[in-house]
Amino acid sequence: MRIALDAMGGDKGLSPIIDGGLLAAQEYGVEIVFVGRREEIEQELAGHRLSQSLHNSVQIAHASEVVHMDEEPGAAIHAKRDASMVVGVQLVKRGEADGFVSAGNSGGVLGAAQLFLGRLPGVRRSALGTVYPTLHGYCFVLDIGATTDCKPEYLYQFGVMGSAYAHGVLGIETPRVGLMSNGEEESKGSQLVKEAHQLLKAGPLQFIGNVEGKDIPNRPADVVVTDGFTGNVFIKTSEGVAALLLKTLEREVKRRPHAMLGAMLAKSALRATRACLDYTDYGGAALLGVAGVVIVAHGRSEAKAIKNAIRVAKQAADSNIIKVIEEGVR
Amino acid sequence: MRIALDAMGGDKGLSPIIDGGLLAAQEYGVEIVFVGRREEIEQELAGHRLSQSLHNSVQIAHASEVVHMDEEPGAAIHAKRDASMVVGVQLVKRGEADGFVSAGNSGGVLGAAQLFLGRLPGVRRSALGTVYPTLHGYCFVLDIGATTDCKPEYLYQFGVMGSAYAHGVLGIETPRVGLMSNGEEESKGSQLVKEAHQLLKAGPLQFIGNVEGKDIPNRPADVVVTDGFTGNVFIKTSEGVAALLLKTLEREVKRRPHAMLGAMLAKSALRATRACLDYTDYGGAALLGVAGVVIVAHGRSEAKAIKNAIRVAKQAADSNIIKVIEEGVR
């Protein structure tokens, strides 16, 4: 198993990425191909004392260019054919890597994957999916931003792809699939959602009907299907509300000397709460529907998040998710 | 100033509604017309010792039927022409009340208002707006569920209506209007959002561009415009995440004896945090674009929430919001 890792992606420079790649190589026994400027990668690697076996499981694929976080992704991947994310995707396309992980400009990674890998036969649009914390473990939400404007058939296929992912990567025997809507009743939803509801209902998935944002934390569904616009609003709103709540709590605590002491005593519980909800740490988002395994890690990723993203790429490749999706959308 | 109040709406029976109406009559000097079954209202009122002046400011408008929470609203308001929410809306239509407040079946209230009051001249679709907590006071979000499928022009008008509301009711001199999207850049968004962006940009409002769910808590905008599907997902997701976070914190605290003590010490800070974020207590949602003031209170409303909803109805009527909207959409 060989995973290509974009060494140039991420907000925090090469260091956490190289660290994460080495951790994954040790822990999961995968080979890592660091993609990016050879000299910079070698310099970073020189700072580590690698065992012979670890040394053998690491390679470098040189790529002279970088797509930066603030670049317009569409233009960048066309202009920079030697960008690390383009070269990484090409390694997957040529079968020289079983998957690609990048914490770089996410629009760029999506664009490069769609352009150079292309969609699987029968797949109408690709979808980006992420695990989402609930009170009872994680569920899988897609699309969170690959396809902004959707048709009912796209949402149906997102259900198929999400179900395959939840089975293969998350290990759920028969995933329950829900459709994000503004009400549980079948009659609720936009025109798009109402039509997608009928398609999902008629299909072979274990479709449980509409789910609402307020119920998702109770995990009625293992897979939540939505269009890329709504899914993106859903994810970002969740981030915003969690931050709002924690900041408000901090402010209210600071106003009360008793509460300050209390918060100190409850510090580890607060930290655990934060950790439970930090899905960004869980391993990144999977781009489904393209002809290869591509995992988009969060730009802020630390070594642990990079390591987790590589684990997810490995699981996706191990479970042959590409083939399962190809068969599911037929 | 006379406000009609649906005595039969709400999950908790007549009691909190009658209490809330009486509180509002005392505090804001408004007349209250309780709409519903006369006998039940009189019985409830008999339990209160009303001063002569309070007695004089209370009336009853009999309505023999009730639209229940679990009824299909469209069918119900057609079948039950003597339902309290229909009679209440009619009082506004005939000019016998300056506004109507209901904590009943919200689909029913929207339907009754749209059917019997109708839209203001020039208004393409009505929108339901609510205040939303941020780190720096509240902003106003619309539409949260009146119009599920929108066109760009509808969103433009929601901006106009939301701006009028923020000015008249929330007292913001020149409200900053933002458009909910999946990215701040002008190029981001669904087709709908991109086109609405151009309309808002070309119009006379103080349009600040796209806003994301993760930024709204920092209150970049006083008014956030979105379609009724996305807005509903936004509100319900916010509810869900807040509940998830507080429940996770509770669970993590219970696992740690130290933290249990800490949480006790920080109890009032936790309560204050909850209260800060409980927008349902703030006075309900305003239906904008119809030819009359209609406020939809939360079904779970306690007396205080009902009182607040009446205050909002009074402010909307005082600020002549109907006329401002009518002129704004011209």
- A214 contact partners, CB below 8 Å, separation of at least 6: B236, B237, B239, B240, B243
Query: A248 vs B182: CB contact, 8 Å cut-off?
Result: no
Q: Is the pLDDT of residue B189 over 80?
A: yes
A181 and A223, same structural domain? yes
Nearest to A236 among B149, B214, B277 (CB): B214
pLDDT tens by residue, B118-139: 999 999 999 999 999 898 888 9
Q: What is the pLDDT of residue B275?
A: 78
Between helix A321-328 and helix A152-168 the angle, nearest 10°, is: 140
Considering chain B, what is the average pLDDT of its residues? 92
- Domain termination residue (choose one: A281, A297, A317): A281
Q: What does the buried/exposed string (b/e) look like for B226-256 if buried means 16 or more CB atoms within 10 Å of the residue's CB?
A: bbbbbbbbbbbbbbbbbebbbebbeebbeeb
Closest CB to A266 among B215, B242, B262: B262
Contact at CB, A230 and B229, closer than 8 angstroms:
yes
| Average pLDDT, integer, range B235-246 | 89
A118 and A129 within one domain: no
User: Nearest residue of B to residue A214 by CA position?
Assistant: B240
Say if B328 falls within a structural domain. Answer: no
Residue B25 forms part of a structural domain: yes
pLDDT for position B279? 62
- B269 found inside a domain: yes
Same domain, A275 and A133: yes
Cβ pair B276:A248 closer than 8 A: yes
Judging contacts by C-beta atoms under 8 Å, the chain B residues touching residue A189 are 148, 229
Give the other-Cβ count within 10 Å of A202's Cβ: 10
So what's the pLDDT on residue A221? 96
Sign of CA dihedral B168, B169, B171, B172: negative
Cβ distance of B265 and A259 shorter than 8 Å? yes
Q: How confident is the model at residue A86 (pLDDT cuts 50, 70, 90)?
A: very high
User: For B198-229, what is each residue's pLDDT tens digit?
Assistant: 999 999 999 999 999 999 999 899 999 999 99
Given a cut of 70, whether residue A233 has pLDDT beyond it is: yes
* Residues B128, B252 within the same domain: yes
For residue B281, name the pLDDT band (cuts at 50, 70, 90).
low
Is residue B21 in some structural domain?
Answer: yes
Residue A278 has pLDDT above 90, yes or no: no
Percent pLDDT > 90 in chain A is: 72
Q: A133: which chain B residues are within 8 Å (Cβ-Cβ)?
A: 244
Between A224 and B278, whose confidence is greater? Answer: A224
Residue B221 located in a structural domain: yes
One domain for residues A134 and A94: no
Q: If pLDDT is split at 50, 70 and 90, which confidence band does B280 have?
A: low
Q: Residue A290's pLDDT is what?
A: 97
Name, in order, each residue with C-beta under 8 angstroms of B86's C-beta and a sequence gap of 6 or more.
B63, B77, B80, B112, B116
Which residue among B280, B298, B314 closes a domain? B280
The reply to whether B229 and B190 lie within a common domain is: yes
DSSP output for A171-235: --SS-EEEEE-SSSSTT-S-HHHHHHHHHHHHSSSEEEEEE-TTTGGG-S-SEEE--HHHHHHHH
Averaged confidence pLDDT in chain A? 92
Residues B73 and B95 grouped into a single domain: yes
| Chain B residues touching A298 at Cβ < 8 A | none
Mean local confidence (pLDDT), B51-63: 94
CA distance B190 to chain A (A): 5
Contact A143, A234 (CB under 8 A): no
Q: Tokens in use for A200?
A: 């999902």
**Pairwise CB contact (< 8 Å): B148 & A249:** no
CB contacts < 8 A (A, B)? 208
Q: Determine, for residues B244 and A133 on separate chains, whether the beta-carbon distance falls below 8 Å.
A: yes
B74-116 confidence digits (pLDDT tens): 899 999 999 999 999 999 999 999 999 999 999 999 999 999 9
Among the listed residues A94, A89, A145, the one whose alpha carbon sits nearest the alpha carbon of residue A113: A89
Q: Which of B273, B276, B298, B300 should one mutate to test binding to chain A, selecting the residue with the greatest count of A CBs within 10 A?
A: B273
Judge if A224 and A82 occupy the same domain: no
Question: Would you state the pLDDT for residue A279?
Answer: 62
Average pLDDT of span B173-178: 97
Q: What is the pLDDT of residues B157-172, one digit of tens each?
A: 999 999 999 998 889 9
Question: Residue B294: which residues within 8 A CB-CB, separation 6 or more?
Answer: B89, B92, B99, B100, B101, B102, B109, B113, B117, B286, B287
B330 domain-assigned:
no
Pick from B212, B217, B232: CB nearest A243: B217
Is pLDDT of A128 > 80? yes
Range of the domain at A84: 1-123+289-330
Res A120: pLDDT: 96
Q: Is the pLDDT of residue A268 over 90?
A: no
User: Confidence class of residue A281 from pLDDT cuts 50, 70 and 90?
Assistant: low
Coil vs helix vs strand at A295: strand
* Pair (B140, B244) in one structural domain: yes
Contact B217 A244 (CB under 8 A): yes
> Which CATH number fits the domain that encloses residue A184?
3.40.718.10
Q: Are A277 and A161 found together in one domain?
A: yes
Strands A99-102 and A294-296, how do they pair? parallel
Answer whether A134 sits within 8 Å of B244, measured CB to CB: yes
ipTM of the complex: 0.90
CA distances for B201 relative to A214, B86, B101, B149, B179, angstroms? 33, 39, 34, 22, 10
Q: The pTM is what?
A: 0.91
The pLDDT of residue A59 is 96
pLDDT at A257: 83
Q: Residue A280: its pLDDT value, please?
A: 60
Q: Which residues of A touch B267 (CB under 8 A)?
A: 259, 262
Indicate if A129 and A277 belong to the same structural domain. Answer: yes
Residues of A whose CB is below 8 A from B259:
265-269
Percent of chain B with pLDDT over 70: 99
| Residues 6+ positions from B277 with CB-CB distance below 8 Å | A244, A245, A248, B133, B242
* Closest CB to B245 among A236, A253, A277: A277
Give B236 to chain A, closest Cα distance, Å: 5
Short-list B241, B276, B148, B83, CA closest to A213: B241
Q: Are residues A226 and A134 in the same domain?
A: yes
Residue A16, pLDDT > 90, answer yes
Contact B249 A243 (CB under 8 A): no
Q: Mean of the pLDDT values across residues A247-272?
A: 84
* Number of domains comprising chain A: 2
User: Which strands make up the sheet holding B223-225, listed edge to edge?
Assistant: B58-62, B31-36, B2-6, B99-102, B294-296, B285-288, B127-134, B137-142, B223-225, B176-180, B206-211
B253 vs A282, residue with greater confidence = B253
The verdict on a CB contact (< 8 Å) between B262 and A258 is no
Residue of A nearest to B275 (CA): A248
- What is the pLDDT averaged over residues A145-156? 96
What band does B309 get if pLDDT is binned at 50, 70 and 90?
very high
